[in-house]
Structure 1
Amino acid sequence: MNAPYITLEDLILDAKFISWVKNPDTVDGQFWINWAAKSEENQLILEQAKAIILELAKDDDEPIQDELNDLWSRIEATNDAFDKEKAKQNAVVHQLSFIKSWQKVAAVFVGFGVVVALILFLLNQKVNISTQYAENQKIQLPDGSFVVLNANSSVSFADDWDEQSPREVWLEGEAFFSVTHTANHQKFIVHTNDLDVQVLGTKFNVNARASKTRVVLNSGKVKLFLHQEKNQEVDMKPGELVDFSANNKAFIKKVVKTKVFSAWVNKELVFEDTSLGEIAQLLEDNYGYKVKFVNEELANLTFTGTADTENINLLFTILQKTFNITIQKQGNNLIINN
């Protein structure tokens, strides 16, 4: 199995997943359980996929052809409308390709009810956008707000937002948000694995990787809500940074120069007394390198300077000359030695 899966469609077309839903005692079960445990979004997708498969299992009748033809027309019309709407956005998005997948769905599932369920999901589906290592992407949200997605990161959000419900985005990795304030003071919420970032209109940076979430507020106001502690919240003012560790459930707040943490949006890396250990973590998160310090004390050296996000080799050269060290590349591995 080559997951991670990121969409409902991926799951409902996977023969091994279907087999596990129908026969929960199969050996593949632990794989799906582990995948769902990685995030609340994974858990939701898994439950939706299971519900569709189990609903179909109740219906063994062959679909009536007239009903099937009518349903097919509705799918085509909905898909066309969806394509026209998405063409207005510059972002490259992943959408459910119902037209191409219809024959595969029909072959796996015989039943009218499941296709109706799939149409309902289409009408309220999520847009999923991911970046590769060393790649940034600017995305316009349905309300006109903007997100700049950093490397090795992903966001998802509903295809269409109404004017009453909160505007919601799910983030894994790092992104800079420029949120438009609405006349009715509509909330804007960024969901990470450990906490929610709630705003009205503002500019801020969120980095949510592994067991740590960092929020840096450039302007406006932000309120943080911890998932597991409903009564615990943190208010932020412009110029503040908040770090949250999922390991000890603790918040750390301090005043910082916000440009240091959002310079990547303009394809620049800014370091101020940044340890080589922290730089190594950035290289792993954003560029896919695995960094090894031959001498662990080197990780404590601090660096102040700038670098181009699109020319990371120049940073290696600067670090080598600054600290009289060697940085050896072996595939995706970096070996740092003195």
Structure 2
Amino acid sequence: MKKQLSDYQSYTLNDLINDKSFMLWVSQPTDELDIKWISIQKAYPSLTSIIAEAKRIVLSLRFEVEILDKKEQQELWNTIAARTTLSSIPVRKFRLWSSYAAAAILVGVLFAVGLLYSSFQQVTIQTPYGQMQIVNLPDGSKVTLNANSNIKYDRSWEDNEIREVWIEGEAFLRVNHLHKNGPVKDHQRFVVHTGALNVEVIGTSFNVNDRRGRTEVALLDGKISLVLRNQEEKSLILVPGDIVEYAGGKLNKKPTNVVEYTSWKDGKLYFRDVPLSKIFNYFEDIYGYKVSVDDPKILKRRLSGTMSSKNEMVFFETIARTLNLSITPNKASHELIIKAK
């Protein structure tokens, strides 16, 4: 049941820190919560100093509420409620002391739980259609995440742990080289999990593309080992210039220019006799557009050239002029209507 304004008249420090609305107002303020808590302070000026003290305690925790999903938040609140339930004390003079004691217990619980979650939670970054993002990993490695892609990794990497990331979509990685000499230790290993592959790295630059049931890995420099998750005893070693595709349960090397293959991160696309059907798949993967053609023969046309992908409308117009097509975006259905002129 929603609280009435009068319900807050006798609030103590302990009541405030146990109030979900108050905790959200302090950690994730909104206009609605601002109006509510300003109204409470105006109605009951005696609460102003208590509210200020409660805010100071909560903010000192620097507890990151956003790393918890709804289920985890509810579990956390249940834990706090279970550990801070106090018996009512009829003697008035002990009330203030018990409130501060309860607050201190709650602070300890919150701080411990906060540290636990912040240490073990994974960071997840998702890029929207048409936008790339640079991601700095805990060890200083850098990832350029293509549009409509996501990456997951642990918030912190311990000295005795393997550095691991999980990628869906497409990403270009420049991995920080930690191994200098001697046997490779766990923290010097770097493993990318993508599709059905594990890509193990020791200081290198490479591209990963995991879309449409197909995974491609292109190596620019360094050395990587590809391992199928269901065949961990076997591995395929890649050297600079190698591109490997995994599809239909098989690994195959492809004769492709690696530099051109990774040019997307610089806002350019290179096409060498590529069928339009594959380019239209790119439209859907990167920009989110479904493609509708009035003549299936259009899909068999092939394209060669270098084009800028920084502006999707310019990109579409360039292809339309090159192949004498009409490409009309339908913003309502997010569809590209393609016709031959």
TM-score (norm 2): 0.67
2:149 matched to which residue of 1? 153
1:320 matched to which residue of 2? 320
Among 164, 171, 174, the alignment partner of 2:170 is 174
CA gap 1:322/1:131 in 2 versus in 1, 3 angstroms: same
Q: CA deviation at 1:285?
A: 0.7
1:255 matched to which residue of 2? 255
CA gap 1:221/1:61 in 2 versus in 1, 3 angstroms: closer
User: Which ranges of structure 2 fall in alignment gaps of 5 or more residues?
Assistant: 1-65, 87-98
Letter in 2 for 1:280: F
2:204 matched to which residue of 1? 202
Q: CA deviation at 1:199?
A: 0.5
**Alpha-carbon contact 1:137-1:150 (below 8 Å) kept:** yes
Q: Report whether the alignment pairs 1:271 with 2:255.
A: no
CA gap 1:232/1:301 in 2 versus in 1, 3 angstroms: farther
CA gap 1:228/1:118 in 2 versus in 1, 3 angstroms: farther
1:140 matched to which residue of 2? 136
**Alpha-carbon contact 1:198-1:222 (below 8 Å) kept:** yes
User: Which ranges of structure 1 fall in alignment gaps of 5 or more residues?
Assistant: 1-6, 19-51, 77-115
2:104 matched to which residue of 1? 69
CA RMSD of aligned residues (A): 2.6
Letter in 2 for 1:239: G
Among 104, 126, 131, the alignment partner of 1:130 is 126
Q: 1:102-124, CA deviations, whole angstroms, 9 ceiling, x for partnerless residues?
A: xxxxxxxxxxxxxx666422222
Which whole-Å CA distance do the structure 2 matches of 1:61 and 1:238 have between them? 57
TM-score (norm 1): 0.68
- SS of the residue corresponding to residue 207 of structure 1 reads strand
Letter in 2 for 1:243: E
CA gap 1:158/1:61 in 2 versus in 1, 3 angstroms: closer
**Alpha-carbon contact 2:118-2:155 (below 8 Å) kept:** no
Q: 1:164-217, CA deviations, whole angstroms, 9 ceiling, x for partnerless residues?
A: 321111111111000111135411111123211111010000011231111111
Identical amino acids, percent of aligned pairs: 33
Q: Report whether the alignment pairs 1:222 with 2:224.
A: yes
**Alpha-carbon contact 1:307-1:314 (below 8 Å) kept:** no
Q: Report whether the alignment pairs 1:309 with 2:316.
A: no
1:193 matched to which residue of 2? 195
Which whole-Å CA distance do the structure 2 matches of 1:160 and 1:260 have between them? 34
1:10 matched to which residue of 2? 69
Which whole-Å CA distance do the structure 2 matches of 1:227 and 1:132 have between them? 29
- SS of the residue corresponding to residue 128 of structure 2 reads coil
Which whole-Å CA distance do the structure 2 matches of 1:162 and 1:141 have between them? 13
1:294 matched to which residue of 2? 294
**Alpha-carbon contact 1:221-1:238 (below 8 Å) kept:** yes
Q: Kindly name which structure, 1 or 2, has the bigger radius of gyration based on alpha carbons.
A: 2
CA gap 1:253/1:68 in 2 versus in 1, 3 angstroms: farther
Letter in 2 for 1:265: K
Which whole-Å CA distance do the structure 2 matches of 1:180 and 1:123 have between them? 22
1:164 matched to which residue of 2? 160
Which whole-Å CA distance do the structure 2 matches of 1:202 and 1:9 have between them? 33
